Structure 1
Amino acid sequence: MYKVVLADDEAISLDGLRTLTDWDQLGFQVCGACDNGEDAMAHIISSRPELVVTDIRMPGMDGLELIRNVRSLNIRQPVFIILSGYADFEYARTALGYDVKHYLLKPVLDSDWEEMLHGVHRHLKTEAQKELRQSQLSSQALSLTLMKLLKGEWSEQDPFLMQQALQLDAAVHGWQYVHLKGLQLEDREKCRKLSTDENLIYVELDDHQAGIAVNGSRSAMKVAQLFYSQLQQPEPHEMVISVGPRVRSVRELRISYQQAADAAYPCLTGEPSLGLVDCQTIGATPRQYKLPCSQLIHKLLTAVERLQDKQVNSRLSILFQELHHQQASPDMIRLTALHIVMETNKLIKEIDESIDIQEETENFMKHEPRSISDLQNSLQSYLGLCMEYIRSRKNKESEHPIANVEHFLRENYHRPITVKDIAEQFFINPVYLGHSFIKKYGVTILEFVHDLRIAEARQRLTDSKDAVRLIAENVGYMHYHHFLREFEKRTGVKPVEYRKRQQKLNALLEE
C-alpha cells in the first residue's frame, strides 16, 4: 500500500476524495485529509506519503507553495496530483516547474481519475523495483568491499575503497562485527533476508562462515541474538555466533573480525560454551600463529611409516592437545594439518612412486571441518588410508628377503653393522646381497646406514641440546671424526654450524 495525503479547503471536495474513491482497491491508503496547506505540510513531514493530492486555491499556504516547500525538503519526494477549478495555464506552467506531471480540472470524471491513479501506482511500483535493484547492487558491492577488508586485502591507495569507507563512516558512530561459524547451506539465504536492515551489511565468507557488519545505531549483541534464534529454526544445529568489539571506523573492522573469530575458538574445540559468544565478556585470548614443535610431527610421521596404528592415534591426539595448549589460531591448526598431509605424501612417494593417493588428498582438501575435533578426525582417517597403502606395498615386498634386510637396518642402524654379518643372519651370499640392495635402493648397504644415522643426528641437533659428540655415539659412530666426515658429506656443513642455522630458522618461525 502506498500512502496518500489529501489537501482541499472545500469540505465537500475533500470528503468526496476520501470516501468516493476505493483507495484500497487501487493500492493506496489515505493517511491524512487536510483543509489547508499548513496541515498538509505537517502530515507530509510526519508520514512521508508516496502521493499527495492537493487543490491550488487554499487559505494561507496554497497548493503551489505547498509543492515548492516539499520540494525543498531532503526527503523521498512524493508524486503530486493537482486538482483545481481554475483552467489557468499559469498554474499548470508553475506546476511543471515543480516537476508535477498530473493536473486535473474539477469536477473530475471518474474514468479520468481512476486512470490517473492506476498510472501513478504503476510509476511508484516501477520506481520501487529500480530502488530495490540498486540497493541490492549497492549491498553486493559493499559486501565485496568488506570481504576484502576482512581478508587483509584492503588498500588505502585504492580510491574506490576509500570513497566507500568514507561513505560508510559518514554519520555512523562506530562499527561492530558479528561472526557466524558453522552455517548450513540454507542458513545463508536466511542471513541475507535478515540483513535487509540498512544498519547491517552481510558479508559472505568461505568455510561455512559469514559475517555481519553492524553500525553504531544497532546493538550488535541483539543482532547476534536475533540471527541465532532464527538460524536455530526449525531444528537446532551446531553453530557459533560471536561478537567482536566496537571500532571507530569501517577501516578498523578487521580488528573486530579477528577478535570475534578468536572468541568462537573455544566452542570449536569442543569445550562447553554457548552458541552465542561476546568476546568482550569472555576476554578473547590472543592466538599463536606458529607451527608446533617439529619433533611432534616427526614422531607422528615415523609412526605412520612404521605402521604403528595406536602410536599414530596417540601422537595425533598429543599434537592437537599441544596446539590447544599453545592457543594456536584455527588457521594455524588447519595449516599444520595440511603440512602433515604434504609430508605424508612425500613419505609415500619415497616408499613407492607408483602409489597414487591424489583422490584421497583432494578429498581431504575439499572437506570443510565444522570444528577442530572434526579436523582431527578427518586427518586421522586420511593417515589411516595412507597406512593401508604402505602396508599393502610392504606386504608385497616382504616376499623378497631384501625387504627384511631394509627393516633390520632401520631398526638397528645405531649398532655396529657389516655386510658379512647381515648376509650370515639372512643366509644370503654377501656379493648377491650387495648387488641386490644397490639395485633396489640405489645405494650400498653402508651408505644406507650412514643416511639413517645422519638423518637422526640432524633431527637431534634441531630438537635437543645434547652435545654433538654424544649424538654421534648414540646414532652409531664409535669414532667422532668418522661422524664429522659423514655428516659434512651429506649436509655440506659441520654439525655445530648446522645446529646454529636450525636455531635461527626456528626463531624466525616463532616470530
Structure 2
Amino acid sequence: MFKLLIVDDEPLVQVGVKSMLSWEDYEIEVIGSASNGRQALDIIESNPPDIVITDIKMPIMDGLELTKYCMNNLENPPVFIILTSYEEFELAKQAIRYNVIDYLIKLELDASLLQESTKKALVQVKKKHEENGISPSQYEEVLIAHIFEEKFFVKLLYNLFENDEQLNMQLKDLKLDLNGNTFLTCFCEICTDNEAILSNEQILNQYICTLNMFKEIAAKYLKCFILSLDYKHFAIICCFEERETGNINELVRSSLEKVCLMIYKYFNVQIKIGVGNSCNKLHSVGISFEEARYCYKSSNTNDNIIFYSEFKKSNYSSNTFDLSFLKDDFMKAFEEYNIEALYMIFSKIVKNLNENPSKYLQALDCACNILYICMNLLPDGEVSINDIFSTEIDGYKSIYQKKNVEQIISWITLLRDRLCEYMEEHKKNYTNNTVNLVKKYINEHLEEKLSLNEIAAIYSISPSYLSALFKKYCSVGFSEYITQMKINKAKELLLKENYKVYEVSDMLGFESAFYFSKVFKKVTGYSPKEYTQKQA
C-alpha cells in the first residue's frame, strides 16, 4: 500500500483533499495530515510517505522549504504535489526542481484534477519502488484484504453466514475490531437537488467525496464501519462498549446530526438515514439493518434521521421480502459460480413477486437487496454490475425509477439474464484466482494445523467445492498440497536453519516428531535424518 501525507494549514482543505478521492482504489493509504512543514517533516522522518500533497504557503515552514529539505537531506524523499493559489503560481513552479510531480490551483481543484496528479505521482513512486526491489504483490495483498473485508460486511448485514463459527473465523482472519456488547446499524442515502444536471462521472465523484468525508468525521464520534452499497447508498455498523450503552439512540442521533450538518455545509447534500434497533449479538446485525432499511423506505416525514424504535409500523412482516429461504442456495451459487443454480433462484424470486403484484415496497426492497449482494459478492463488484447495465440510461440506478412491481420484475429479470452471461464468461478466471488465494494462505500459515473446513470458511466457500477446485486445477488434492508445502518448508528448516527434527515438527504443527518423520519419509522416500545426511 502506498502512503500519502496531506499538509495544509486550513483544516477544511485537509478534509477536502482526503475526501475527494477513494484512495483505496489507487492502493493509497492516507497516513495523516499536518498544518505546517515542520509538523509534516516530523511525520515524514518517523513514517515515510510515498506521496505528499502540500500547500505552498504555510506558517513555520512552507511547502517549498519542506520539499527542498526533503530533496537535499533524505535518502528516499517522497514525491510531492503542490497546492497553490494564482498569486503563488510562479513560486510553485520553482518547486519542480525539488521532486515535485505537479502543482494544482486550489480554486480549480476537483476530483478529476487530483486523480490526474495522483496517477502521475504513482508512476514515479512505482518506478522508485521497482528500483528499490519492492514487489507489487505487497500492494495487491492489501487490496485483496480490502475486498474480503467488504464481503464480510455484506454477509453480516444480510445474515448470510452459515453459523457463528464461520462468522468468528472470518472476523479473526481479517483482524477486524468489532469488539463490543451492543451493535446498531444504519441505512443511508445521499440526496442532492442537482443530480438531474450532473453527469454520471460527476455524481460518482460527489458520492465518493461525500462518503469519504462521512467516514472521516463519523470516526470522531462513533466507533463504526461504513460500507458502500452503491453510489447512492451506504450502511453504517456501530459498535458500543458497555460503558457507552446508556442512551444509544441519543448518542447516535447527536453524532449523525453533527456529521450530516458538516457534510451539508461542505457539499450541499443531504443524508437521509434509517436507524435500526440496537442488538447485543454481532450475528443479529442483519435484523438491525433490515429495520433500518424498512423505516428509511417507509417514512413519509421530513426528518432526515428516522429511528425504527420511534417509527409507527404497520404490519412490518408483510412489507418485507424474506430472502432467508433462498439464502444458502444464493450464497452457494455465487461461491461456486453455478450459473444454472443462480438462474433458478432468480426465477423463484420473480415468481414470488408475480404472485404479489400489489407489494411495491416489498418488491423494491427485494430488488435492492439482490443488487447490493451481487455487487459485493462479485469479484469486481460495482464495475461488473455497471457493465451488466451498460445499455440502460441510468445503469443499475434505474431500479430507483421503477414505479410498480411489474417494472421491478423486468429489472430483476434483466439482472438475472445478464449476470448469468457475465459469470459464464468469467468463471474460469474466478475459480483459478480462488485456488491461487487459498494456496497463498496455506503457504503463509504452514506453522498452523490447517483444515479444509476452516480455510473454506475463511474464503466463504463450501468445503466440498474447495476440495473439487483443487482436484480440478491442481495436480494434487487439498490435503496433499498442504502436506507437500509443509515438507518443502521442513526441508528448508532442516538444511538451511539446522533445526532438530522435533523442533521442525513443532514449528509446522505436526502431532508429534514420530508422525512428522513418517509423513516426511512417505513424501521424500527418506527419514528426516537420512535426508539431511544425504544432502550434506
TM-score normalised over the length of structure 2: 0.31
For the pair shown, which has the larger CA radius of gyration, 1 or 2?
A: 1
* Greater RCO (CA < 8 Å, at least 6 residues apart): 2
TM-score normalised over the length of structure 1: 0.33
